[in-house]
Structure 1
Amino acid sequence: MNDKIDIKVDTSPVKIQPAKNSHSKVESSRSRIYVRAVKGLYQTVRRRMGMVFLSAFMLLPWINFNGQQAILLDVEQQQFRFFATTLWPQDLLLLTWIFIIAAFALFFVTTFLGRVWCGYMCPQTVWTFIFIWFEEKIEGSRHQRMKLDDQQMSGKKLYKKVLKHTCWILFSLYTSLTFIGYFVDIGQLFIDFFTFSTSMLITAWVLFFTFCTYGNAGWMREIMCTHICPYARFQSAMFDKDTFTVSYDANRGESRGPRSRKTDHKAKGLGDCIDCNLCVQVCPTGIDIRNGLQYECINCGACIDACDGVMDKMGYEKGLISYTTERKLEGGVTHILRSKLVGYGAVLVVMMGLFVHELYSRSAFDLDIIRDRNQLYRENFNGHIENTYTLKILNKSQHNSVYTLSVDDLPSEVKWLGDKQIEVVSGGVANLPVSLELDPYLLDEAITEFYFVITVKNSAGEPETQYHESRFFKRR
């Protein structure tokens, strides 16, 4: 018996077919996603939320407070100004609390509502939909854009493409200038940039962020969400069966299939899904939600609005695709209050409480005491002991202040050698050298603890006092 198998070698060239949803003859690295416009409750909420936060981002740097830019993160001068509050490197703990609160807020929201941050408030999503809006206004609807890309280059096509990319670049440039305006004086920035007077460093940063915005929102789009953003990868660690996510009810929708509105689909064994694929066409990441929960889903609810519109036209009940939980789809009852969600919420409340306490207990000035490094004390010609200090005063307020200094817990005979009052400019640091002179027989110990007392009037005109511990040395 011959066990050999005859093999026929096909030497004809292999033809690689494009992706099923690809309509571009230019792109070969990935299938381009043509997002279809959709109207509905969730898209209205998403657009309005996006407009609120976009408007806040664009307008906040232009607000003035007490004659200064209200929000200015001045890295060069090492001061972060937020209206009446200015944070300094000494206030790093406050910034730490802010990042911790933001992290736990993200954990809490994700456990409750899934990746809803990505769909409604993430800058990548907001700017991507803005760029898609430019596409729709210039190139037309989804079908028109696909048809335009399939056409050979012509004057009309070139005009639309140039106009679209020009709008993208101009909006990216304005975004970049606004973002840089949070770190430098925004009014002067716009004047200097358009008069070609900015420094090389600022110009480089403006062009860099312009390129990033143009590339991310115009070209990369869903790649940022599915391949680069780490949130998509670790979000599943915060999900459970009671997390609300955009989900397809397969028990109700299957078996799917096209039909007319008058058809009794139940008699034919069909589910409510008519397999129109609108849920795929409106998805900004190009997934089919009917395949189950996928890490690419950003919970924007576009497929819900599209499906509800179809269900309404067909006369079916809405909610075939909805914000629901895995437990509910399995026929159970969703548990809103559960240990994980309560735990995240409790930690978030505690962190916010600690932040508020730290913020309100923060002083508008600070005092550092530096002793003379050459000698702990010296004896003068009167036989008295002198200790020398350098008082470093930091004015963390937004106005010039006059500080008055004294000592406490030393005998009243102590003699202060040096100025007792000093004015420090806003954000400035002043060094005040002083010496304390005292008869050694008035002290019982070789080392005596005492306090430097610093007093200043706050913005309300009330005195604010701090006590800073130090030591007075004498011979044994």
Structure 2
Amino acid sequence: MTNQIPVRQVDPATDASNNNKKAETVDLYASRKKIYVKEVKGFFQRIRTVSLWALMGMYFLFCWITVNGEPLIYFNLPEREFLLFGTTFYPEDFILLSGMLIIAAFGLFFITTLFGRVWCGYTCPQTVWTFIFMWVEERIEGSRNKRMKLDKAPNSPEKIRKKTLKHTLWLLIAFATGATFVGYFYPIRELLADIFTLQANGWAYFWVGFFTLATYMNAGWMREQVCLYMCPYARFQSVMYDPDTRAVAYDPGRGEPRGGRKKSASKEELGLGDCIDCGMCVQVCPTGIDIRDGLQYECIGCALCIDACDEVMDKMEYPRGLIRYATENELQGMPSKLLRPRTFGYGAVMVLMIAALVFTLLTRTPAELDVLRDRGALFRMTGQGLVENSYTVKLVNKTEVPQTFELSVSGMDSLRILDNQPVTVASGESRTLPTVVVVDPEAVKETNSGIVFRARSLNDEFLELETESRFVGPTPR
């Protein structure tokens, strides 16, 4: 079965008589052509280098840093606790994670409306690891032309040596990436010792192997295919673009008509624009597009074409900026606005979510007290003539040390907890206690009265919790 369809080309002048018909075959699915990216240096490349080292440094170092003997970042799934920068979070704090994800999403939307896909070009993990792998490739196999010749050349000891060395280094980087990722869930020092002494459990080997293979394939082999076909951001980014979005763009008004010429030639006499049609912008593009064709979803905003074009403009003694970060309105000679309604909208939601998250963190208590009344019965009368209600008390200790709580209840005269004893809750533990509350019938003024449960820590004088509940009794006389 072929992935091709015939397309009929018709001459309009003879269409009525069905003469001069021609058939052409068009590929429905084009096979991937390897992209050989030319190395370039420049202002934006230096910015990417700084962001790359900063992000990689944080990724590879944070799992090794400890605070008071605890990892700086550690997701302890078996114990259901998560250490982030010296603070312990539990599944009950999932709302905080949701808030952070919402902030990240609207932050991405906000930046995209202003500057396009700068996230993809400078901070996306796929971009970071791909550039690292390309750097290794360039150091071993040489420049773009040398790599192209090497791939076309028949196998030889030199080619096999270079290819083996390249893939070995790729696999080492991928293994370090996979082991580091798992190190955020399995203490990194123990993980590496267990892996190399064959003491790690099967899941540790599986996940290290999985992320090693994923990194090796994505950054080494698939590269731009991940950005073009797998990443959803490339598909929905157009919703956030408008004529005032600043993105990598070619200025056709200045560059066209394009054409080659000598440096000493006058472009005015030749009737040409500033673009000398050297193709450097295409050769340095990691997704293989021609930015001169206009805005394309494949563009990741990496600005390598800007650095390459600026270098050519310098050599030709033309002004820089033929390819630059610009808006559609700017290229058409119209005024461009930085802040627009959608920018305000995304920014406002982001600020509100940040404020809500900060407030939640500042008011977050190191423990929780929840009380649920037994709805199976209204009330019971004890043998001593007291009115009795049953409750389920839940205590959650979010501190780093065990806490012993003393329970009490108030809201009615003679109200007390039956068989009340101090309760010790371990660090990170959630403890559920069946609790019985009794009161003298004479103290019951209403059939449904509000009461307050309190839990006071005997270890921390400042830790006291309270929550409201209801007490149901007989109809007062």
- If the length of structure 2 is used for normalisation, what is the TM-score? 0.90
Quote the residue 1:471 is aligned against: 470
Quote the residue 1:390 is aligned against: 392
Quote the residue 1:453 is aligned against: 454
CA distance in 2, matches of 1:31, 1:4: 38
Give 1:448 deviation, angstroms: 2.2
Quote the residue 1:215 is aligned against: 217
Letter paired with 1:211: L
Give 1:273 deviation, angstroms: 0.9
Q: Deviations over 1:354-389 (max 9, x none)?
A: 111122222111122244576544333322223333
Give 1:206 deviation, angstroms: 1.2
Quote the residue 1:267 is aligned against: 269
Give 1:228 deviation, angstroms: 1.2
Q: Is the 8 A contact 2:248 2:324 kept in 1?
A: yes
Equivalences for residues 300-315 of structure 1 within 5 A: 300-315=302-317
Give 1:178 deviation, angstroms: 0.6
Shifted more, 273-282 versus 337-346: the winner is 337-346
Give 1:466 deviation, angstroms: 2.5
Equivalences for residues 246-265 of structure 1 within 5 A: 246-265=248-267
CA distance in 2, matches of 1:259, 1:351: 55
CA distance in 2, matches of 1:105, 1:376: 51
Give 1:455 deviation, angstroms: 2.4
CA distance in 2, matches of 1:65, 1:199: 27
Quote the residue 1:400 is aligned against: 402
Quote the residue 1:444 is aligned against: 445
Q: Is the 8 A contact 1:80 1:88 kept in 2?
A: yes
Say whether residues 1:89 and 2:91 are aligned partners: yes
Shifted more, 324-333 versus 371-380: the winner is 371-380
CA distance in 2, matches of 1:180, 1:5: 67
CA distance in 2, matches of 1:381, 1:234: 69
Quote the residue 2:78 is aligned against: 76
Structure 2: gaps spanning 5 or more residues = 1-16
Quote the residue 1:53 is aligned against: 55
Distance 1:8 1:235, change over 3 A: closer
CA distance in 2, matches of 1:470, 1:140: 73
**Number of paired residues?**
456
Letter paired with 1:239: Y
Quote the residue 1:416 is aligned against: 417
Q: Deviations over 1:95-138 (max 9, x none)?
A: 11111111100110000000111000000000000000110111
Q: 1:231 aligns with which of 233, 258, 277?
A: 233
Q: Is the 8 A contact 1:38 1:306 kept in 2?
A: yes
Q: Is the 8 A contact 1:456 1:464 kept in 2?
A: yes
CA distance in 2, matches of 1:242, 1:127: 31
CA distance in 1, matches of 2:44, 2:111: 17
Q: Is the 8 A contact 1:419 1:432 kept in 2?
A: no
Distance 1:277 1:420, change over 3 A: same
CA distance in 2, matches of 1:294, 1:4: 38
Letter paired with 2:282: V
Distance 1:338 1:368, change over 3 A: same
Distance 1:113 1:400, change over 3 A: same
Say whether residues 1:124 and 2:126 are aligned partners: yes
Letter paired with 2:411: D
Give 1:92 deviation, angstroms: 1.7
Q: Is the 8 A contact 1:112 1:341 kept in 2?
A: yes
Equivalences for residues 2-17 of structure 1 within 5 A: none
Quote the residue 1:21 is aligned against: none
Q: Is the 8 A contact 1:451 1:468 kept in 2?
A: yes
Structure 1: gaps spanning 5 or more residues = 18-27
CA distance in 2, matches of 1:8, 1:424: 83
CA distance in 1, matches of 2:20, 2:41: 60
Give 1:246 deviation, angstroms: 0.6
Give 1:414 deviation, angstroms: 2.8
Q: Is the 8 A contact 2:372 2:469 kept in 1?
A: no
CA distance in 2, matches of 1:266, 1:404: 89
Q: Deviations over 1:284-326 (max 9, x none)?
A: 0011111111110011110000010111111110001000111
CA distance in 2, matches of 1:475, 1:333: 76
Letter paired with 2:437: L
Quote the residue 2:191 is aligned against: 189
CA distance in 1, matches of 2:408, 2:122: 56
Q: Is the 8 A contact 2:130 2:219 kept in 1?
A: yes
Give 1:342 deviation, angstroms: 1.5
Say whether residues 1:287 and 2:289 are aligned partners: yes
Q: Is the 8 A contact 2:106 2:350 kept in 1?
A: yes
CA distance in 1, matches of 2:58, 2:311: 32
Equivalences for residues 351-370 of structure 1 within 5 A: 351-370=353-372
Q: Is the 8 A contact 1:406 1:420 kept in 2?
A: no
Distance 1:380 1:6, change over 3 A: closer
Say whether residues 1:431 and 2:432 are aligned partners: yes
Q: Is the 8 A contact 1:457 1:463 kept in 2?
A: no
CA RMSD of aligned residues (A): 2.3
Letter paired with 1:417: L
Give 1:66 deviation, angstroms: 2.1
Q: What SS does the aligned partner of 1:61 have?
A: coil
CA distance in 1, matches of 2:112, 2:222: 24
Q: Is the 8 A contact 1:84 1:398 kept in 2?
A: no
CA distance in 1, matches of 2:456, 2:141: 67
